[in-house]
Structure 1
Amino acid sequence: MVKITNNPLILVDGSSYLYRAYYAYPLLKNSIGEPTGAIYGVLNMLKSILKQYKPSHVAVVFDAKGKTFRDQLFKKYKSHRPSMPKDLSDQIIPIYHMVKAMGLTQLSINGVEADDVIGTLALEAARNGRNVLISSSDKDMAQLVSSKITIINTMSNTILGPEEVKLKFGVPPALIIDYLALIGDNADNIPGVIGIGEKSAKVLLREIGGVAALYQQLDKVSTLNLRGAKTIAAKLEKHREVAFLSYQLATIKTDVPLDVSYDHLIVKAPMVQTLTLSFQRYEFQRWLNDLKIGKWLEKGKISGVSPGLFIRHRPIAVEGTMQVFLKDDYQIIDNMIMLNKWITTIRNAGAFAFNTKTDGLDTLTANLLGLCFSVKPGKAAYLPVGHNYLNTPNQLNWNAVLALLKPVFQDSGIAKISQNLKFECGILKRHGIEITGITFDIMLESYVLNSVAGHHDKTSLAHRFLAHSGIDFEKIDSKGYHQMPFDQMTMEQVALYAAEETNVTLRLHQQLWPRIKESPELKKIFEEVEIPLVPVLSRIERSGVLIDESMLVSHSLELVQRLKKLEEEAHQLAQEPFNLSSTKQIQIILYDKQQISVLKKTPGGAPSTNEEVLTALAVNYPLPKLILEYRSLAKLKSTYIDKLPKMINPLSKRVHTSYHQSVTATGRLSSSDPNLQNIPVRNNEGRRIRKAFIAPPGALIVAADYSQIELRIMAHLSQDPGLLHAFIDGQDIHRTTAAEVFRVPLKKVNYDQRRSAKTINFGLIYGMTAFGLARQLSVSRSEAQKYINLYFERYPEVLNYMERTRKQASIQGYVTTLDGRRLYLPDIHHSGNSRKKKVAERAAINAPMQGTAADIIKRAMIALDTWIQEESLPIRIIMQVHDELIFEVHHTALENAIIRIKALMEGCFTLDVPLQVTVGVGNNWDQAH
């Protein structure tokens, strides 16, 4: 194997590094959403090669923008390559700056490629007797290899000298250009000679010589001991020009005029201040810490794995080409002495990160396998309590463990740190532990910092904030997660996984919390809204809701008949049978057979049959109307009517939805399994589903709904006198708007006018245009614009608020709720896509209202839960849907409950107009709504 001589000149193919880094870390972003994966990856690879070889001279070479001489030779050169992704191109300039700040020379030369610059520098250095190491994965570089020039492919960690090139490609470095000219190069779109593959090319080059020699001795080709030799000779003759063109394209230029000499490439001292500012901006905290203590470019130490129950310095993951190693100490708690020591450590620390490990995700049925604790980075311990397979080491008695752990978890003076604390609350509650001191949840910390920066799961956060790859099941065990359940892995595997998870949780908290503390508003949102809501949601999920299964089964049978009848009617209208669930068949029927005009096309160019299009067509055509009705009923049947009975928990006999605090951009809660937010309320079928949500014997359903909350928030935000007075005076805002817009006395506003005014009121705060309003009201665009103009004449400060908000969002990139929650708008500066920018501007107007409404109902839930828990009332919050809270109330507490629910919801937040809550009561959700 070739050896690298001391202190070579290192020439780095920066463009190769760039793409490898980008695809190795595609999700890495900082807290404001800027992509950072390519930056991290390039710098990490440069650090690695500097540490390994300690060179005195380095050049990092990138492709310059624009065409090169090869594009002039061949228009299709690299033409098949897609354009650079925007989130990669955004990182190039920062990379250039940081490469220079590392003390390295960065080069990009117009008109040529990075390969040509590297080739020129390499040959010049070799001619002067210097040793050169080229870092690249590009096979073209093999033509440069000589006794003085070697190549390292850091992706495979292989080094190529002359012998290695010959072994790898079957030809020596001197014939690599000829080899590529014959076989072509798909990566660069070099055509090569059609019909000549690698095997034939090697024989031709070995027996006759390079391309020039081949064409001088074409008659020899047909005499070679080569299958199809005569055909190959004919192919060479036919594609003579292509072969010589390919030779030119594959040849690395080694005489590029450069203004730099070997002495210019000396490695300079790093620009620490510049690197510090860059690492702060892109949130490379670990590097920032290393930089402060002068260890950023020092070589790290990697150790193996110690045997037994103590896990030390274990390699944990491979991401792209960069392996990440732990330098941490993890333990398995297998005796009471160790457990007591850890409890003492936790109490002394006053805070600890923890995770539970279970055999499932359902808090009602999952079994607790173990718990893990960490109080400082690099230290964690796993406590197994429920593993049940033969090779499990001795586990401590659960009752003895519980007696020690329960006081810790129920001590409000000890701060708990975890991810998805709601899940942990549910699991531990089943074991008699009511967690107090719920203080930090990294998922919510990330969400409060920036709800749209990316995913808020632990893996994504570790990538984004720690530039860290975590363990996953398949990297622990080669059999894969699906072949080995978690509770059957070896104890070392489980402990390593759990300890790493918990340690990363602690480290992420240490990154996220200081950022939140910098903003009093964000700190307030986190401490007063998001964290107190965690145990509330946990209780709601555990309570669940009672479902009348027989009602849904009966409803489903009815729908089978209705769907069948709709299908028959549709077939009659189409004059042939077709599948009403098939987009393709609907396209054929509507657009090919019935010759209906195409209103809109899909991104792929096919005529659209989405809901918006069918709704527009349904005005004039009966078949689209039938298809819409069929789709709506079929979706309700599959999503709710058939699915809800299957979701009834066998233990509780109730349905338990899951609420999510960190999904929506605005702060609103979302739910899943089932998604309660999407059950329609405006049609009979949706209301029938709600009738199946019933009260148990002795109780009633109480539904409390904020009335027109977003319009009231708009009145407060805009300070429009007309809106303020209307709400303060208790007027029907939709009737008032109708009177103004349609120029009729208040008492003469009819139902249709009020309904239209409601569409206008809500449409405009959602940024609806005249075109959209015209469609909603079934009027002309000019008529819709007239209504909008009249609206803003009546409420001029609403228009001023909208303009102010657009400008504010454009300047700072985000808007805020009244509580100070930041709602970032990544596309507000999107100059390349006007549609995205306009969508962002509309979101900027509406987001403060939606976000404030979300904060208000969350505060209401916290206040109501506190009241219920403190007074031990026979009342349960069982659902939250949009601006509505639904309760189960025992009949003995009903009268007081209605009064207190209304008072607490209306009094939990102060606006310049009163909040109004409508309360209903019934045996089921529909009756109460």
Structure 2
Amino acid sequence: MATDSTTQNTPMILVDGSSYLYRAFHAIPPLTTSEGQPTNAARGVISMIRSLIKTYPNSPIVVIFDAKGKTFRDDIYSDYKAQRPPMPDELRLQIEPIHRMIDAMGLPLVIIEGVEADDVIGTIAKQVGETGRDVIVSTGDKDMAQLVTDKVTLVNTMTDTVMDIQGVKDKFGIPPELIIDYLALMGDKVDNIPGVPGVGEKTALALLQGLGSLKDIYNRLDEIAALGFRGSKTMKQKMADNQEMAELSYVLATIKCDVELPFNALELQNKQIDKDALREWFTKLEFKTWLKDLDKAPSIDGPNDTASNLDGQATASKSDIEVQYDTLLDQASFTKWFEQIQQADLVAFDTETTSLNYMAAELVGLSFSTEVGKAAYVPLAHDYEDAPEQLDRDWVLEQLKPWLEDETAAKVGQHLKYDANVLNNYGIALRGIVYDTMLESYVFNSVSSRHDMGSLAEKFLDHKCVSFEDIAGKGAKQKTFNQIDLEQAAFYAAEDADITLRLHQAIWPQLEKTPELVSIFKDIECPLVPVLAKMEQTGALIDPELLHAQSSEIAAKLQELEIKAHEAAGESFNLSSPKQLQVILFEKLELPIIKKTPKGQPSTAEPILQELAENYELPRIIMEHRSLSKLKSTYTDKLPEMLQKTGRIHTSYHQAVTATGRLSSTDPNLQNIPIRTAEGRRIRQAFIAPEGYKLVAADYSQIELRIMAHLSQDQGLLDAFANNADVHRATAAEVFETTPEEVTTEQRRRAKAINFGLIYGMSAFGLAKQLGIARPEAQKYVQRYFERYPGVRTYMDNTRENAKEKGFVETIYGRRLYLPDIKAKNAMMRQAAERTAINAPMQGSAADIIKRAMIKMHHWLADTDLDVRMIMQVHDELIFEVAEKDLDAAQAKIVDIMQNSSKIDVPLLVEAGVGDNWDEAH
């Protein structure tokens, strides 16, 4: 049958129904009808298909499921998929309803005995693609990547990601045509494909990238050792011994693209919807909202549907928008709005509470927006005098819980991690976080503005929001949200939801212009939200008595230092008074004035005192006093006061603060506890493991130097890390022209200062100062370093030039770090920006790497039977509580995940320690 031009211009959509089935069943909490029929998988599958109909209104959508019984692969290999547990009864009962609803929706439903759904999809995709028509395969199955061509693309509806040829290369490191070889080498635990023993992801990639296909590898076995990956010298024998298994795995992993179809794939088309049949099933399964859709629209969720577009393409106008904000005080109005929420593709959502402390915050109300200018506020706990009667909080949360926990119900918010933590206090696990406007803005440009709602609304929408102070007041008399007049509170809350939706529609299209930034958002920042929320909810255990004792000791030490300072000054004075200190240092003791304040007074700022402390006693005493005083007020005094009702401290991690992508934390700030001082280490000793557990601290070793090796592609650095050499000793050998064995401790220390100093853009002058040597000698070290590592100098020079040209630098994964001062006329500002240009890609890449590891760790922790909790992240370190019985297995897995979550051109090394407290474990 010839296809007309209209049909030919629309892609054919092939839905991996079996993938949908299991993902929906496991993603959505158990749901049943009033008669006990399970419905979670049915709701999830049909919801995802409805979404596809909206996205591709003119395309045929073909749904393919596995048939019952064995396939040809079982005949080839009796253990194929043998370890898979039988289908749960709760899922089995939903298959027939799902099939019947798909059929009633007018979509071709394909099930062919003796082959898997993958094979049917592969065959249809091949036949249709060869005619020149685009094919989109909707699946979450990585094996399908082998089908990708210039005409066949994969779409994952649950993560909203698209994978074309380049996408496959980016994700796997190899093109689609080598995916089968990749699976054959590695094997597949899910399908029980054996693979080659001892070949993991890293080794498989090294073999394929170095030698080519599986066939090429077996033709070039003698060349494996020269590839230089770990284990390459013994890999030839392993490959030879397991050739039969590898070739069997290749056959098992190959999607069959020549299945005999009982129809012409080119003629597949959607049929007329059978509304009566759908009505019957929607009634039986109690899908009430979808029932109403049948009566009000010509097609279910078709092109005439008025719900918001999931991707927010229609940018909100910056001009005044007429708004309609509803306050929902009774069940009827709530139910009406909730129906709109359930049928919308994307809902802006926000909570109003009594506190910014998520552990103590009580829920006062909820707001929602489904389209620009329209929002609703559900008050739950306004308790001022004469407050109107409101809906029962427990009842509202009971109604909302399935939607809030539905992974397929897409939500957008502003800083949704906070809302997730608040809801967790009420037994609700917020899922379906697809967008977050704070993170969208941060990924778009981390330094262009603050990322709070007020700042973003003014920047992107030219709109000034009602501020919290406008309705609650300021200072000691500021009201909490439950005390605010409902009329004012309702507008404020509804506006939050409305503006969030508008911000998403304004920012997202700008992000989409740069695929790398979309990837940073979708693959790193957004998936990190539930990871951080879980860590925050878990918290960390501390020993308050140990901290009280340390506070007393520090107090005594501070008194001693104060007496010493008075003796050095020859008189008593207030060590905390800059004015008195100024007089003592620069008038009485006549110390050199290094820098003046804007008012012309000698500066006593910390960097100035640090410099003076190198040569003078009193500044040295002042610096020690300041350091200890800060430790006492920030940690030893304060940490015990931060204990929550859980008996733990619960920090807040911030994703949208630092310019480089690194996380920061507050209440308490975990990132600033010193590790090089005895006092700092004692504070870490107060972070303890519960009884029966140990703390495991896993730290990336020299990660920024390894990233420098990757970015610069300097052969000397690459070789040092590839050979697992002591890179500081190797650098010392190069710079001091000796052998690694003859490098002295002092030479290694100097080489370490050079390695790290150059990463931070340190000049020869700065290096001389740090090492306490003459500037010409330091200059000689730097010059020799660049002679030995010419790739580093080339990288630095190119980075500065590119930064000046583009105005930004990038991490390995494409995060952009803008440099507003890179062309500044002020030399100091410009040079500072140039130093940042060198260091930011390394700091930012290190941040991306540990975030990716945390996401993978989170998924592993959700699935493992081991008793492990991830409790803290500090710089390049992750800290875990691990049951003593699971220590060895958990430690090995933690290291494995951290080392293998990201791939760069040198090995990522993770060192893990164990102890009863953080200091012991580090």
Shorter-chain TM-score bucket reads 0.5 to 0.7
Q: Distance in 1 between matches of 2:391 and 2:621?
A: 65
Counterpart of 1:429, as a letter, is N
**Counterpart for residue 643 of structure 2:** 648
Deviations 1:759-808 (A, max 9, x none): 11011011001111111111111111111101101101100000111111
In the alignment, is residue 545 of structure 1 matched against residue 560 of structure 2? no
In structure 1, the residue matched to 2:716 is 722
- 2:657 maps to a residue whose letter is V
Q: Which residue pairs with 2:344 in the alignment?
A: 349
Give 1:36-55 correspondences, 5 Å limit: none
CA contact (8 A) 2:674 2:680 kept: yes
Q: Measure, in 2, the Cα distance between the counterparts of 1:895 and 1:526.
A: 34
1:658 aligns with 2:652: yes
Q: What residue is the counterpart of 2:616 in the other structure?
A: 621
The one of 690, 693, 699 aligned to 1:705? 699
Could you list the runs of 4 or more consecutive aligned residues of structure 1 that deviate by over 6 angstroms after TM superposition? 477-481
AA of the residue aligned to 2:829: K
Percent identity between the two aligned chains: 54
> Does the Cα contact within 8 Å between 2:367 and 2:376 map onto a contact in 1?
yes
Inter-CA distance 580–893: structure 2 relative to 1 (3 Å threshold):
same
**Scaled by the length of structure 1, what TM-score is found?**
0.64
State which of 626, 630, 640 in structure 2 corresponds to 1:631: 626
For residues 478 and 560 of structure 1, what CA distance do their matches in structure 2 show?
A: 38
Structure 1 residue matching 2:822: 3-state secondary structure: helix
Asked if residue 366 in structure 1 is aligned to residue 361 in structure 2, the reply is yes
- CA distance in 1: counterparts of 2:481 and 2:371, whole angstroms: 26
Match of 2:893 among 882, 892, 900: 900
Q: Distance in 2 between matches of 1:645 and 1:751?
A: 41
Match of residue 835 from structure 1: 828
Match for residue 759 of structure 1 among 753, 758, 762: 753
Structure 1 residue 597: deviation in Å?
A: 2.0
The structure 1 residue matched to 2:862, chosen from 853, 869, 888, is: 869
Q: Which residue of 1 aligns with 2:848?
A: 855
Assess, with a 3 A threshold, how the Cα gap between structure 1 residues 484 and 363 changes in structure 2: closer, same or farther: closer
Q: Alpha-carbon deviation of 1:479?
A: 9.5
Which amino acid is 1:683 matched to?
T
Residues 1:367 and 1:744: Cα distance change in structure 2 (over 3 Å): same
Determine if contact 1:334/1:396 at 8 Å carries over to the other structure: yes
- Give deviations 1:827-849, integer Å, cap 9, x for gaps: 1122x312111111111111111
* 386-395 or 690-699, larger mean C-alpha shift: 386-395
Q: In the TM superposition, what are the counterparts of 1:111-510 in structure 2 within 5 Å?
A: 327-476=322-471, 482-510=477-505
| Pick aligned residue for 1:845 from 828, 838, 847 | 838
Question: Residue 883 of structure 1 corresponds to which residue in structure 2?
Answer: 876
1:532 to 519, 522, 527: 527
Contact 2:316/2:502 (8 A) holds in 1: no
| d(CA) in 2 for partners of 1:750, 1:866 | 45
* Partner residue in 1 for 2:570: 575
**Does structure 2 conserve the Cα–Cα contact (< 8 Å) formed by 1:419 and 1:442?**
yes
Contact in 2 for aligned 1:284/1:466 (Cα 8 Å) = no
Q: Given that residues 350 and 413 in structure 1 are in contact (C-alpha distance below 8 angstroms), is that contact kept between their aligned partners in structure 2? A: no
The residue number in structure 2 matching 1:120 is none
- The residue type paired with residue 665 of structure 1 is A
Instruction: Evaluate the alpha carbon distance shift between residue 483 and residue 521 of structure 1 in structure 2; reply closer, same or farther with a 3 A threshold.
Output: closer
Return closer, same or farther for 1:714/1:483 CA change in 2, 3 Å cut-off.
closer
Structure-2 separation of matches of 1:326 and 1:458? 18
- Residue 467 of structure 1: how far off its partner (Å): 0.3
Q: Distance in 2 between matches of 1:435 and 1:873?
A: 24
Q: Distance in 2 between matches of 1:582 and 1:485?
A: 36
Alignment of 1:673-822 (within 5 A): 673-822=667-816
Correspondent of 1:912 among 891, 900, 905 = 905
Instruction: Write out per-residue CA displacement over residues 150-172 of structure 1, whole angstroms, 9 at most, x where no aligned residue.
Output: xxxxxxxxxxxxxxxxxxxxxxx
Whole-angstrom distance in 2 between the partners of 1:778 and 1:582? 31
Unaligned segments of structure 1, at least 5 residues: 1-282, 291-324
Contact conserved, 2:316 with 2:372, CA < 8 A, in 1? Answer: no
Change (3 A) 1:793 1:483: closer
Contact 1:473 1:480 in 2 (8 A): no
Match of 1:669 among 643, 663, 671: 663
Question: Deviations 1:19-52 (Å, cap 9, x if unpaired)?
Answer: xxxxxxxxxxxxxxxxxxxxxxxxxxxxxxxxxx
Distance 1:395 1:633, change over 3 A: same
1:507 is paired with a residue of what secondary structure?
helix
Query: Is the contact made by 1:284 and 1:467 (CA closer than 8 Å) also made in structure 2?
Result: no
**Aligned-pair distance for 1:603?**
3.1
Residue type of the alignment partner of 1:908: S
Query: Please, which runs of 5 or more residues in structure 2 have no aligned partner?
Result: 1-312
C-alpha distance in structure 2 between counterparts of 1:495 and 1:442, whole Å = 21
CA distance in 2, matches of 1:627, 1:455: 35
The farther-off stretch of 798-807 and 887-896 is 887-896
Secondary structure of the structure 1 residue equivalent to 2:879: strand
CA separation of 1:356 and 1:760: change in aligned 2, threshold 3 A: same
Partner AA of 1:349 in structure 2: A
Give the drift of 1:287.
Answer: 5.8
Q: For residue 729 of structure 1, what is the amino acid of its counterpart?
A: N
- Change in 2 beyond 3 A, CA 1:860/1:287: closer
Tell me how far 1:620 sits from its aligned partner. Answer: 2.7
Distance 1:478-1:720 versus aligned 2 partners, 3 A rule: closer
The whole-number CA distance in structure 2 between the counterparts of 1:681 and 1:358 is 37
- Equivalent pair of 1:284/1:465 in contact (CA under 8 Å): no
User: What's the counterpart of residue 923 of structure 1?
Assistant: 916
* Distance change in 2, residues 1:624/1:481 (3 Å): closer
Letter in 2 for 1:816: E
Change (3 A) 1:727 1:654: same
| Cα contact 2:317–2:461 (8 A) shared by 1 | no
How has the CA–CA distance of structure 1 residues 615 and 390 changed in structure 2, closer, same or farther, with 3 Å as cutoff? closer
State how far apart, in whole Å, the 2-side matches of 1:389 and 1:921 are: 52
SS in 2 for 1:526: helix
Q: Deviations over 1:413-434 (max 9, x none)?
A: 1111101110011111121211
Letter in 1 for 2:646: S
Of the two, which has the highest radius of gyration? 1
Distance 1:591 1:565 in 2: 23
Cα offset, 1:563, TM superposition: 1.4
CA distance in 1, matches of 2:689, 2:777: 48
- Aligned residue among 512, 520, 524 for 2:515: 520
Given that 1:391 and 1:490 are in contact with CA atoms closer than 8 Å, whether structure 2 keeps it comes out as: no
Q: Is the 8 A contact 1:691 1:925 kept in 2?
A: yes
CA contact (8 A) 2:314 2:505 kept: no
C-alpha distance in 1, partners of 2:538/2:419?
16
Equivalences, count: 610
Shift of 1:339: 1.9
Aligned counterparts of 2:881 and 2:640: Cα–Cα separation in 1: 20
- What is the distance in 2 between the residues matched to 1:479 and 1:924? 41
Q: What is the one-letter code of the residue matched to 2:754? A: I
**Inter-partner Cα distance in structure 1 for 2:381 and 2:674:** 43
Cα pair 1:285 1:466 within 8 Å, conserved = no
Tell me by how many angstroms 1:587 deviates: 2.0
Distance in 1 (CA, whole Å) between partners of 2:712 and 2:643 is 46
**Which letter does structure 1 place at the counterpart of 2:570?**
Q
Deviation at 1:286, TM superposition (A): 5.7
Cα contact 2:472–2:480 (8 A) shared by 1: no
Asked whether the 8 Å contact 2:472–2:481 carries over to 1, the reply is no
Indicate the larger mover: 807-816 or 615-624.
615-624
